[in-house]
C-alpha cells in the first residue's frame, strides 16, 4: 500500500505541473499591471524578475520537487530496486531532502498568496476611495502583512533546517558512520516530534490567517455591492479566499488526525489519508484558486483598474441634434479624464445625462455609440431653444 500511495501522490503532483506552467506563460502575456496602483497584486500572481515574488512560480517548483521525491520513493519501494546496487538509505534520504525543499517552496507560495489577497483588497479600496483616502489603510495593511509574512517565513526556514538536520542524523545512525548510542536515537526521535509540532503550528497559523483574508474579502464585497463595474470582480476575490480557507482547514485537520493516529497505531487509513486525500485537497484547490486569480487579473472593462487604458476605453456617447443645422450644445459630448477611474467616468456621464433630462421644454435628440461598439443606443432629451425668431416686416413705402 505504501507503493500505491507514493504512485498516487506523485501522479497528483505531476498532473498540475504542466497546466500551471501553461497558465504561468499565459499570465505573462495577458495579465499586465501597466503601472496602475490598484493592480499591485498582479505582480504577486504572475512571475516577475524575482522568482520568490510569485506564488505561481513557487507552486510550480514545489510540485516539481514533490514529483521528484515521489519518483524516488516509488523506485525505492518497487520490486526492481532490490536488485540494484543503490543504497536504500541514500535514496530514501534524498527523497526526504527533495520533499522538504518542495514543502519550503509551498510555504513561500502560501505567504505570497496572502500578500496577493491583501494587495487585492487594497486595490479595491483605492478604486472606491481614491489614492489620498486609501493611503493610510493601505500602508497599515502592507506593514502588517509584511511582519506576519516574515513570521511565517521564519517558521518555514526552521522547518526546513530541522528536517535537514534530522535527515543527516538519521543517515549517520543507519550507515554506522559513528557509534550510535541510545541518546542519539532519542535525540533523533525528539527532533522528529519537534518537526511535527512545528508543522502543525504553521498550519494552524496559516489557517487563522486565511480567516483574516476571508474577512477582508467579505468587507470588499460589501463595499462594492452597489458598484456594477467592480461587483463581479470582487466576487472572484471572495471565492478565491473561500477556497483557500477550505483548503487550509482540510489540510490542517488531516495533519492533526494523522499526528494523533501515529501515536497509537499505524494502519492502512494513515497511508491513504496521508498520500491521497491530503494532496488532492491541497493541489486541486490551489490550482482552481490560481485560475480564479488569473481570471481576475485579465479582466478589462469590469476589472480592477483605477486608470483607464487607451486600447479599451469605454464607449463615448455621441449627441446628434434632431433638426438639421442645429449646433451641438456645449458640453454635450463628455470627455474622459485620464486620471479618473473608468467606472467613475461612466457614473459622471450618467449624471450629466440625468441633468440634461431634468431641464424643461425637451426636444428629442438621438444618440448613438461609435460603430465599433455593438451596444444599444440610448435616447436622450435635449432642451429646446426658447428664443424664437420673429418674421421680418417689410418697410412701408413712402407716400
Statement to judge: residues 181 and 329 lie in one domain? no
In a domain, 386, yes or no: no
- The pLDDT, as a whole number, for residue 254 is 84
In a domain, 397, yes or no: no
In a domain, 209, yes or no: yes
Statement to judge: residues 336 and 215 lie in one domain? no
Rg, the chain, Cα only: 31
Look at the block and give the residue holding cell 435616447. Answer: 379
Grid cell in block for residue 112: 505570497
Look at the block and give the residue holding cell 501522479. Answer: 11
Q: Residues near 145 by Cβ (< 8 Å), separated by ≥ 6? A: 114, 115, 118
303-345 per-position pLDDT tens digit: 666 655 555 554 444 444 444 455 545 444 444 444 445 555 5
- The pLDDT, as a whole number, for residue 52 is 33
| pTM given for the model | 0.67
Q: Residues near 299 by Cβ (< 8 Å), separated by ≥ 6? A: 233
Statement to judge: residues 257 and 360 lie in one domain? no
Where does a domain end: 242, 264, 298?
Answer: 298
Statement to judge: residues 284 and 331 lie in one domain? no
Domain with 168 in it: 2-298
In a domain, 382, yes or no: no
CA-CA distance, 104 to 108, in Å (whole number)? 6
3-state secondary structure the chain: CHHHHHHHHHHHHHHCHHHHHHHHHHHHHHCCCCCCHHHCHHHHHCCCCCHHHCHHHHHHHHHHHHHHHHHHHHHHHCHHHHHCCCCHHHHHHHHHHHHHHHHHHHHHHHHHHHHHHHHHHHHHHHHHHCHHHHHHHHHHHHHHHHHHHHHHHHHHHHHHHHHHHHHHHHHHHHHCCCCCCHHHHHHHHHHHHHHHHHHHHHHHHHHHHHHHHHHHHHHHHHHCCCCHHHHHHHHHHHHHHHHHHHHHHHHHHHHHHHHHHHCCCCCHHHHHHHHHHHHHHHHHHHHHHHHHHHHHHHCCCCCCCCCCCHHHCCCCCEEECCCCCCCCCCCCCCCCCCCCCHHHHHHHHHHHHHHHHCCCCEEEEEEECCCCCCCCCCEEEEECCCCCCCCCCCCCCCC
Statement to judge: residues 344 and 280 lie in one domain? no
Statement to judge: residues 253 and 124 lie in one domain? yes
Closest CA to 155 of 106, 193, 198, 191: 198
Statement to judge: residues 232 and 355 lie in one domain? no
The residue-averaged pLDDT of 251-266 equals 73
In a domain, 398, yes or no: no
Q: How many domains are contained in the chain?
A: 2
In a domain, 304, yes or no: no
Statement to judge: residues 292 and 324 lie in one domain? no
Statement to judge: residues 80 and 101 lie in one domain? yes
pLDDT at 137 over 70: yes
Statement to judge: residues 344 and 221 lie in one domain? no
CA-CA distance, 119 to 39, in Å (whole number)? 8
Query: Which CATH number belongs to the domain containing residue 52 in this structure?
Result: 1.20.1070
Grid cell in block for residue 255: 495533519
User: Looking at per-residue confidence, does 346 or 13 come out higher?
Assistant: 13
Statement to judge: residues 258 and 337 lie in one domain? no
Which range (8-12, 49-53, 265-269, 346-350) has the least confidence?
A: 49-53
In a domain, 141, yes or no: yes
Statement to judge: residues 205 and 349 lie in one domain? no
pLDDT at 186 over 50: yes
In a domain, 316, yes or no: yes
**Bridge partners of residue 364, in order along the sequence:** 381
Amino acid at each position: 500500500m505504501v507503493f500505491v500511495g507514493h504512485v498516487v501522490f506523485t501522479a497528483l503532483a505531476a498532473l498540475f505541473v504542466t497546466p500551471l506552467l501553461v497558465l504561468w506563460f499565459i499570465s505573462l502575456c495577458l495579465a499586465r499591471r501597466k503601472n496602475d496602483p490598484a493592480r499591485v497584486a498582479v505582480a504577486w500572481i504572475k512571475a516577475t524578475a524575482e522568482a520568490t515574488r510569485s506564488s505561481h512560480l513557487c507552486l510550480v517548483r514545489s510540485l516539481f520537487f514533490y514529483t521528484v521525491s515521489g519518483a524516488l520513493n516509488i523506485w525505492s519501494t518497487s520490486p526492481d530496486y532490490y536488485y540494484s546496487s543503490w543504497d536504500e538509505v541514500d535514496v530514501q534520504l534524498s527523497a526526504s531532502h527533495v520533499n522538504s525543499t518542495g514543502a519550503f517552496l509551498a510555504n513561500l507560495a502560501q505567504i505570497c498568496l496572502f500578500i496577493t489577497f491583501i494587495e487585492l483588497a487594497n486595490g479595491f479600496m483605492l478604486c472606491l476611495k481614491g489614492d489620498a483616502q486609501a493611503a493610510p489603510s493601505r500602508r497599515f495593511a502592507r506593514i502588517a502583512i509584511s511582519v506576519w509574512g516574515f513570521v511565517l517565513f521564519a517558521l518555514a526556514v526552521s522547518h526546513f533546517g530541522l528536517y535537514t538536520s534530522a535527515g543527516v542524523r538519521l543517515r549517520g545512525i543507519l550507515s554506522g558512520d559513528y557509534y550510535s548510542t541510545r541518546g542519539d536515537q532519542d535525540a533523533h526521535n525528539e527532533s522528529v516530534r519537534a518537526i511535527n509540532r512545528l508543522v502543525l503550528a504553521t498550519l494552524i497559523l496559516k489557517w487563522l490567517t486565511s480567516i483574516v483574508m476571508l474577512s477582508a474579502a467579505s468587507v470588499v464585497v460589501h463595499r462594492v455591492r452597489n458598484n456594477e463595474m467592480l461587483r463581479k470582480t470582487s466576487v472572484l476575490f471572495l471565492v478565491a479566499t473561500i477556497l483557500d480557507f477550505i483548503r487550509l482547514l482540510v489540510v490542517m485537520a488531516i495533519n492533526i488526525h494523522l499526528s494523533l493516529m501515529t501515536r497509537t497505531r499505524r494502519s492502512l487509513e494513515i497511508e491513504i489519508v496521508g498520500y491521497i486525500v491530503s494532496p488532492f485537497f491541497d493541489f486541486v484547490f490551489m490550482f482552481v484558486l490560481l485560475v480564479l486569480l488569473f481570471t481576475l487579473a485579465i479582466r478589462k472593462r469590469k476589472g480592477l483598474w483605477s486608470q483607464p487604458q487607451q486600447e479599451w476605453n469605454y464607449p463615448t456617447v455621441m449627441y446628434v441634434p434632431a433638426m438639421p443645422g442645429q449646433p451641438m450644445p456645449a458640453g454635450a459630448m463628455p470627455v474622459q479624464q485620464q486620471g479618473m477611474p473608468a467606472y467613475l467616468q461612466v457614473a459622471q456621464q450618467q449624471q450629466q445625462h440625468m441633468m440634461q433630462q431634468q431641464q424643461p421644454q425637451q426636444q428629442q435628440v438621438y444618440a448613438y455609440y461609435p460603430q465599433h461598439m455593438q451596444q444599444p443606443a440610448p435616447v436622450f432629451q435635449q432642451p429646446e431653444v426658447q428664443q424664437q425668431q420673429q418674421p421680418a416686416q417689410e418697410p412701408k413705402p413712402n407716400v
